[in-house]
A and B are shown apart, each in its own frame.
Chain A
Amino acid sequence: MSTSTQTIEQLANREYKYGFVTDVEQESAPRGLSEDIIRLISEKKDEPAWLLDWRLKAFRAWQTMKEPTWGNIKYGPIDYQNIIYYAAPKKRPALQTLDEVDPEIRRTFEKLGIPLEEQKLLSGVAVDAVFDSVSVATTFKEHLAELGIIFCSFSEAVRNHPDLVRQYLGSVVPYTDNFFATLNSAVFSDGSFAYIPNGVRCPMELSTYFRINARETGQFERTLIIAEADSHVSYLEGCTAPMRDENQLHAAVVELVALDNATIKYSTVQNWYPGDSAGRGGIYNFVTKRGKCLGVNSKITWTQVETGSAITWKYPGCILMGDNSVGEFYSVATTNNWQQADTGTKMIHLGRNTKSTIVSKGISAGHGQNTYRGLVKIAKGARSARNYSQCDSLLIGDQCGAHTFPYLEINNSTAQVEHEASTSKIGEDQIFYCRQRGLSTEDAVNMIVSGFCKEVFRQLPMEFAVEAQKLLSVSLEGSVG
């Protein structure tokens, strides 16, 4: 065995950095799913009747649906009756300041490096921290409120802004959309809500850290962002989860609505527990994310860096309704060890002169399987629509796989659609070249991979790009040998 292989194997044996469990008294619902459980969730959250009704309709629809099997992913059956659908840290009186937050939870956030500390807040990040299912702290809200921006937990939005929630909930991802989104609609626990009023440019990156903590608790987050006419918002979502033996199901829904001339930038770094090197454990991540460019000249950009989870199944898409609206999707997806990712986007062009850009970078290492699946649909009325797609795959080692499934549906002859794809392999020669210049194998791989992902990282806000790059190198440790 060469020395580089040994070094790499040592690195590979390092433990998942974020694998710890916070010991907070939990309040959980019994296992399983029924109308009673949904009523319980709704009651715990003190929800209005219309929302309970919506959940129940979703649940009834879900009972008639089948789990999709078209994904290029393999996993054992999920027992939906063996999942706890609601867990919350024990109720405490409403919190006025950060000091009142449970010290255990504070320590967890600190370990994760979440900027809840005052000095970190000064760096300009407002955080709505979702600890398991209930929001425990929201910061910067007052400053944002002065501008008329609403940034709060989903539950709070239901309480304080029911009309907005009612108007937009399910307007992009209807409760009948797909098996996992429908399940989410029935049981979602909490999530984030942002509303940017007319003409306001949100002065800071809005940021949410989701964290799966309670053992065997499915996470069903729901996020809704509404950007009114002429507004602008950039939203960051980052995740880490503690180490677990059992697989955990995660089925989130994110809905974005952009009105005339509005811009929404949604960036994700996903680093949930990917399972161990033998493929045991890890998060199952079935996510539905969709944005609607409802207004003219509106723009929605999805940027994702997916390094974690045992299974990733997500296709953040854009419905380009408004004339001249723009949809963008920039993605880096990494699969190492036994991780599987089936991810991509859907760009649905309905309005005239609508434009979409897709840049997808898949990195496969170990026994990882990485699939790009994307749909570009140009509707009959979408005159002069344009799409550019680029799908690149990078292979590290010879046990992994890369797959590309681009679907095109073009119903208007004025459309211009371009698709480029490439597959390359990190070669011994590239690594040797770097080592001959004095760089270690690990640094060489990191450099080659970040070069490959450059176009996507460029889309991320600065601090996030640095974090993403670090995550990528951690997730690829042990991949070359």
Chain B
Amino acid sequence: MLTVSNLHAAAAGREILRGIDLSISAGEVHAIMGPNGSGKSTLARVLAGHPEYQVTAGEVRFECVDLLAMDPESRARAGVFMAFQYPVEIPGVSNAYFLKAALNALRASRGQEELDAIEFMTLVRDRMAQLGIDEALLTRPVNDGFSGGEKKRNEIFQMTMLEPRLAILDETDSGLDIDALKIVAQGVNAMRRSDRAFLLVTHYQRLLNYIVPDVVHVLADGRIVRSGGKELAFELEEKGYGWLEAQVGG
């Protein structure tokens, strides 16, 4: 589904990704781990098309299409979703309005009819119930005045509404207490399907207790230095990132 080859990217003239190779098949969950500053979040944002980053070399194919040639909204419409590490506040715009506009933009790009208010609300109620989210959230402005946990949960709620093909979760677990973490994990697990893939960017192994990945990659200094099964995450947790860096260095 997603093939990343020799991806190099820079921000403000500084190279952050130095040759990433990664291949994710439909139905898989991949975790990207690594120390602070290793380029994990940069990878997520480059895949989503954040304008702050310049791709300097390499290629990304999403379902055989050149992803890097697409603007961010086209990537979203093609089925790429990113749950933000720091969800952005939009004062005065209700969550429901925002979500309906987003959903209908995606539907329109697929030639589907827009959902009317009743169809939309039916879907919303169903998804909110699944995630145990209070309906009051709908009338509140997007992320405005939300607690850290509420923001992250709202990202997952949006993901369940927008039903992406590839979901990238950028440190969705950071700053969450254990209950919120479980809700997030439950949301992801409920969405796992043979035609959908996940890329989880995380600093801690903790999230992977609840969402069991198929593949774990360790990123250091802009390169994937090691890939393995879920047990790699435990090894990292036990030995720390220093262990790998020492290995790579040596």
**Contact yes or no, A433 B87, CB < 8 A:** yes
Taking A4-B71, A437-B76 as contacts, is the C-beta distance between A448 and B51 under 8 angstroms?
no
Could you tell me how many residues of chain B have their Cβ less than 8 Å away from some Cβ of chain A?
Answer: 31
**Contact yes or no, B158 A437, CB < 8 A:** yes
**Contact yes or no, B141 A447, CB < 8 A:** no
Per a CB cutoff under 8 Å, which of B48, B93, B98 touches A436?
A: B48
Q: Which of A423-467 contact B (CB under 8 A)?
A: 427-430, 432-441, 443, 447-448, 450-455
Instruction: Report if B77 contacts A (CB, 8 A).
Output: yes
Task: Give chain B residues whose Cβ lies under 8 Å from the Cβ of A447.
Answer: 90, 93, 97-98, 101
**Contact yes or no, B77 A436, CB < 8 A:** no
Instruction: Report if A2 contacts B (CB, 8 A).
Output: yes
**Contact yes or no, B92 A453, CB < 8 A:** yes
A452 to B91 Cα, complex, angstroms: 6
**Contact yes or no, B72 A435, CB < 8 A:** yes
CB-nearest residue of chain A relative to B103? A438
Instruction: Report if B31 contacts A (CB, 8 A).
Output: no
A478 to B150 Cα, complex, angstroms: 34
Q: Which of B88-135 contact A (CB under 8 A)?
A: 88-93, 97-98, 101-102, 105-106, 109
**Contact yes or no, A443 B105, CB < 8 A:** yes
Q: Is the interface of A mostly helix, strand, loop or mixed?
A: helix
**Contact yes or no, A438 B106, CB < 8 A:** yes
Instruction: Report if A3 contacts B (CB, 8 A).
Output: yes
Per a CB cutoff under 8 Å, which of B48, B92, B98, B102 touches A454?
A: B92
Per a CB cutoff under 8 Å, which of B50, B71, B93 touches A448?
A: B93
Closest Cβ of chain A to B101, distance in Å, is 6
**Contact yes or no, B101 A448, CB < 8 A:** no
**Contact yes or no, A443 B101, CB < 8 A:** yes
**Contact yes or no, A451 B105, CB < 8 A:** no
CB-nearest residue of chain A relative to B94? A451
Taking A2-B51, A428-B51, A432-B50 as contacts, is the C-beta distance between A437 and B102 under 8 angstroms?
yes
Closest Cβ of chain A to B86, distance in Å, is 8
CB-nearest residue of chain A relative to B161? A437
Per a CB cutoff under 8 Å, which of B52, B81, B84, B162 touches A428?
A: B52
**Contact yes or no, B109 A438, CB < 8 A:** yes
A427 to B106 Cα, complex, angstroms: 23
Closest Cβ of chain A to B236, distance in Å, is 29
Instruction: Report if B9 contacts A (CB, 8 A).
Output: no
**Contact yes or no, A432 B92, CB < 8 A:** no
Taking A438-B106, A450-B93 as contacts, is the C-beta distance between A432 and B51 under 8 angstroms?
yes
Instruction: Report if B82 contacts A (CB, 8 A).
Output: yes
A443 to B82 Cα, complex, angstroms: 19
Closest Cβ of chain A to B7, distance in Å, is 19
Per a CB cutoff under 8 Å, which of B71, B84, B93, B158 touches A3?
A: B71
Closest Cβ of chain B to A293, distance in Å, is 30
**Contact yes or no, B101 A436, CB < 8 A:** no
**Contact yes or no, A439 B92, CB < 8 A:** no
**Contact yes or no, B88 A430, CB < 8 A:** yes
**Contact yes or no, A439 B73, CB < 8 A:** yes
**Contact yes or no, B73 A435, CB < 8 A:** yes
A453 to B93 Cα, complex, angstroms: 10
Task: Give chain B residues whose Cβ lies under 8 Å from the Cβ of A453.
Answer: 92
Contact string, A239-250, partner B, CB cutoff 8 A, digits 1/0? 000000000000
**Contact yes or no, B90 A436, CB < 8 A:** no
A7 to B81 Cα, complex, angstroms: 23
**Contact yes or no, A438 B73, CB < 8 A:** yes
Task: Give chain A residues whose Cβ lies under 8 Å from the Cβ of B77.
Answer: 438
Task: Give chain B residues whose Cβ lies under 8 Å from the Cβ of A427.
Answer: 88
Task: Give chain A residues whose Cβ lies under 8 Å from the Cβ of B106.
Answer: 438
Contact string, B63-90, partner A, CB cutoff 8 A, digits 1/0? 0000000011101110001101001111
A432 to B90 Cα, complex, angstroms: 12
A443 to B90 Cα, complex, angstroms: 13
A429 to B91 Cα, complex, angstroms: 14
Taking A433-B84, A439-B102, A443-B105 as contacts, is the C-beta distance between A452 and B73 under 8 angstroms?
no
**Contact yes or no, B91 A451, CB < 8 A:** yes
A432 to B46 Cα, complex, angstroms: 12
CB-nearest residue of chain A relative to B101? A439
CB-nearest residue of chain B relative to A392? B91
Task: Give chain B residues whose Cβ lies under 8 Å from the Cβ of A439.
Answer: 73, 101-102, 105
Closest Cβ of chain B to A373, distance in Å, is 24
Closest Cβ of chain B to A32, distance in Å, is 49
A452 to B142 Cα, complex, angstroms: 12
Task: Give chain B residues whose Cβ lies under 8 Å from the Cβ of A430.
Answer: 88-90
Task: Give chain A residues whose Cβ lies under 8 Å from the Cβ of B98.
Answer: 434, 437, 447
Q: Which of B39-59 contact A (CB under 8 A)?
A: 48-52
Task: Give chain A residues whose Cβ lies under 8 Å from the Cβ of B49.
Answer: 435-436
Closest Cβ of chain B to A3, distance in Å, is 5
Closest Cβ of chain B to A451, distance in Å, is 3
Closest Cβ of chain B to A190, distance in Å, is 39
CB-nearest residue of chain A relative to B158? A437
Task: Give chain B residues whose Cβ lies under 8 Å from the Cβ of A436.
Answer: 48-49, 72-73, 75-76, 81-82, 84
**Contact yes or no, A450 B92, CB < 8 A:** yes
Task: Give chain B residues whose Cβ lies under 8 Å from the Cβ of A451.
Answer: 90-93, 141
CB-nearest residue of chain A relative to B105? A438
A477 to B76 Cα, complex, angstroms: 23
Contact string, A220-249, partner B, CB cutoff 8 A, digits 1/0? 000000000000000000000000000000
A4 to B50 Cα, complex, angstroms: 12
CB-nearest residue of chain A relative to B50? A432
Task: Give chain A residues whose Cβ lies under 8 Å from the Cβ of B105.
Answer: 437-440, 443
The 3 closest A-B pairs by CB, nearest first: A451-B92, A451-B93, A437-B102
Interface residues of B (CB under 8 A from A): 48-52, 71-73, 75-77, 81-82, 84, 87-93, 97-98, 101-102, 105-106, 109, 141, 158, 162
Interface residues of A (CB under 8 A from B): 2-4, 427-430, 432-441, 443, 447-448, 450-455
**19 cross-chain CB contacts under 8 A:** A4-B51, A430-B89, A432-B72, A433-B90, A435-B73, A435-B76, A436-B75, A436-B76, A436-B82, A437-B76, A437-B105, A438-B76, A438-B105, A438-B109, A440-B105, A443-B105, A451-B92, A451-B141, A453-B92
A439-B101, A451-B92 given; 6 more Cβ-contact pairs under 8 Å: A3-B71, A434-B90, A436-B75, A436-B84, A438-B76, A439-B73
